[in-house]
Amino acid sequence: MTSPEASRPRNPLASPRLWWILGWLVLAGFLVVAAMTLPWADVIAALKGARWEWALITFAIIVAGWPLWIVEWWLLAPAAHRPSLSRMAQVTALTGTANNSLPIAGVVAAVGFLMVRGGLPATAAMSLYAVDQLLTGIVKVGTLALAATLLPLPDWMRTAMLTLAGVIAVFILVMLVAARSGNLVRTVSRTFGARAAAIAKLAGDFVDHLEPLRHPLLGLAVMTLAIAKKAVEILAVMAIQVAVGIEPSLSSAILVVAALGLATLAPVSPGNLGVYEAAVIFCYQYLDVPLPLAVAAAVLQHAVFFASSFVGIGYLAITLPRDDAATGTPKAS
């Protein structure tokens, strides 16, 4: 017999897929309307007159920052489950490729790749990603604060900075308390039966893997790497400014990177297409940069950042077949 719930006709308006499609259509419509209003003839002229050697320099700067991500995640991995640097390079390359192609793929992709390619247990992969997001949030707030000291920020950016700072402060407090409570979680759960104990074991393992929050030197090392990654982004933005003919400015580059940190908090399009460009254009327009140069900078910057991901894809094309073949080769007796 079928249950009443199974026989009841489904409401198509309750389908998440429908709302995703509608949301995409609305976003696409806004992007098309916005694109139609831009002075594309002047933008194309600005791109034709760009100093393309500086685009190549930007590309090199971004690629040079990739090892920082590899080492940061390698250090974030619990010592007992830490993979090789080459395996962590594969994990970061796969994660970066997923983030540039699939919207809202971050958590699932990163944790999945850490487990499948990095060989981490699920609890270790989740703890690594949680600490990474904590570091990312701290650096984003710091970048916004630095931008606020150098330039008068729009009111909405100041509000967003204070809101994000409050959220990160709570996150830090919760994570610091959790990092030292693994045994307590297991002990308390024993009074609630076997099922609670099994859940508590997973929670305890997750907490035990938060090693950077218990070891100050390790925490300082990964925080330094996170800051260095952000500095690479700022340097790349300044190189793009030179490329398109905008007066290079550290303060404006910091503002662009800070705005992108806010605009890309919740990815809603593949590779943040449209949202990324809008954030960059807004910043330069706020700083009275001519619109054609602002659009040229936004398009070229996003294109170079996207192109840099193909270095990771190339690395995967070389190393994945080799590693898989080595893994599948039977050991000699």
pLDDT at 271: 72
pLDDT at 177: 86
Q: What is the pLDDT of residues 26-46, one digit of tens each?
A: 556 655 665 666 777 888 888
The structure tokens 């001519």 sit at: 290
pLDDT at 89: 96
pLDDT at 190: 61
- Residue 172's φ and ψ, nearest 5 degrees, are -60, -45
Nearest to 123 by CA among 77, 180, 71: 77
Q: What is the pLDDT of residues 134-164, one digit of tens each?
A: 999 999 999 999 999 999 988 888 898 999 9
For the chain, what is the mean pLDDT?
85
The structure tokens 């640097």 sit at: 85
Q: What is the pLDDT of residues 196-252, one digit of tens each?
A: 667 777 777 888 889 999 999 999 999 999 999 999 999 999 999 999 999 999 999
Cα 155 to Cα 23, 47, 152, 258, distances in angstroms: 27, 32, 9, 14
Cα 108 to Cα 105, 113, 124, 148, 251, distances in angstroms: 6, 8, 14, 33, 35
